[in-house]
């Protein structure tokens, strides 16, 4: 019987592991399998440079940061396993987690499975990932490779507007590519983008290819008109997908409360999801900030909630 099991090895999961390990709860962390689409370590494993995580004045690569977070938790007794939970039974106590045919029982569960950025599905998106292709302007937009350069943002919602406005602070020019003739975004956000002197909106257009090479990374995109089918090339050094994220919550459908997009719902200021001893943290329940540092902060909150819940049960 485990006292704490944590699903997810990203910033939220590792921070939860650190705090519960320091509380002598000997957490077991399921990171996922190396063959899974969701990489162990979360989205930071696909980020080359992280400049906005506290404590690293010169920046650090995503994989190095995750290695540091994991080692710190392990130093206090957290155990990490490359396994993926395939089903759960949270209807009775103890809580039961299944890894294929293996069964694990635990008193508390912290869900930190994160979210996966949506892309268009182009092969070139994967080829140039971290070489000009990104899904987080806040994470990557201020990097030297993008400053003073031409960038492309794909999307038409509020997220795309926010990304474009942020990038415009650093870029020479930003092109927002949208497949329709008006944005899905709120009018105020759309108007800000349309009227921004450093932003051009490419209406009724889609990106159907990204160009580049192994040395320079992204060098341009090919735009295709949704009305005429005609194509043209646009030179740029950065491509930012802003078409949303998919929370990794399929396992909890019809088990835990979610919003219409699939993000887990937590109660009030706590990380509880409504089932005693079950907590959620990080991007799996955050559809607003989605930053490594906010994920880490909520991982701390979930760990403290879990420890206090255990104390209340054991002291009853």
Q: Which residues pair with 6 in a beta bridge?
A: 29, 110
Q: Is 14 tagged catalytic?
A: no
Q: Which residues pair with 201 in a beta bridge?
A: 176
Which of the residues 67, 68, 140, 181 is marked catalytic? 140
3-state secondary structure of 238: strand
Neighbours of 187 (CB within 10 A): 9
Q: Give the torsion sign (CA, 189, 190, 191, 192).
A: positive
Which of the residues 136, 236, 271, 281 is marked catalytic? 136
Q: Is 140 tagged catalytic?
A: yes
Q: Is 139 tagged catalytic?
A: yes
Residue written as token pair 């991007």: 283
Which of the residues 139, 236, 271, 281 is marked catalytic? 139
Radius of gyration of the chain (CA): 21
3-state secondary structure of 172: coil
3-state secondary structure of 275: coil
- The DSSP secondary structure of 46-107, one letter per residue, reads G-S-B-SSTT-TT-B-HHHHHHHHHHHHHHTT-EEE-----EEE-SSSSEEEEETTEEEEEE
Q: Which of 199, 206, 193, 117 shows the shortest CA–CA distance to 162?
A: 193
Active-site annotation, residues: 136, 139-140
């Amino acid at each position: 019987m485990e006292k704490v099991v944590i699903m997810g090895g990203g910033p939220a999961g590792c921070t939860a592991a650190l705090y519960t390990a320091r509380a002598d709860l000997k957490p077991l962390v399921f990171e996922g399998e190396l063959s899974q689409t969701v990489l162990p370590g979360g989205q930071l494993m696909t980020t080359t440079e992280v400049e906005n995580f506290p404590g690293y004045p010169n920046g650090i690569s995503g994989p190095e940061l995750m290695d540091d977070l994991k080692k710190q938790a392990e130093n206090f007794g957290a155990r990490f396993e490359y396994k993926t939970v395939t089903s759960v039974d949270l209807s009775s106590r103890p809580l039961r987690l299944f890894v294929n045919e293996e069964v694990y029982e635990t008193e508390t569960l912290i869900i930190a499975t994160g979210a996966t950025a949506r892309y268009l599905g182009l092969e070139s998106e994967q080829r140039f990932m971290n070489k000009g292709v990104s899904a987080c302007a806040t994470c990557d937009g201020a990097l030297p490779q993008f400053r003073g350069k031409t960038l492309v943002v794909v999307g038409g919602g509020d997220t795309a507007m926010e990304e474009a406005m942020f990038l415009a602070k650093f870029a020479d020019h930003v092109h927002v590519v949208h497949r329709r003739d008006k944005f899905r975004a709120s009018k105020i956000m759309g108007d800000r983008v349309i009227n921004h002197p450093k932003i051009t909106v490419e209406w009724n257009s889609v990106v159907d290819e990204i160009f580049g090479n192994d040395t320079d990374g992204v060098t341009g995109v090919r735009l295709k008109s949704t009305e005429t089918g005609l194509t043209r090339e646009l030179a740029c050094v950065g491509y930012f997908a802003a078409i949303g994220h998919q929370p990794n919550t399929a396992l909890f459908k019809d088990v835990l409360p979610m919003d219409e997009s699939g993000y887990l719902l937590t109660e009030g200021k706590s990380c509880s999801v409504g089932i005693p001893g079950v907590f959620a943290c990080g991007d799996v329940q955050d559809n607003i900030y989605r930053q490594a540092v906010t994920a880490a902060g909520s991982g701390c909150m979930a760990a403290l909630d879990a420890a206090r819940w255990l104390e209340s049960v054991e002291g009853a």
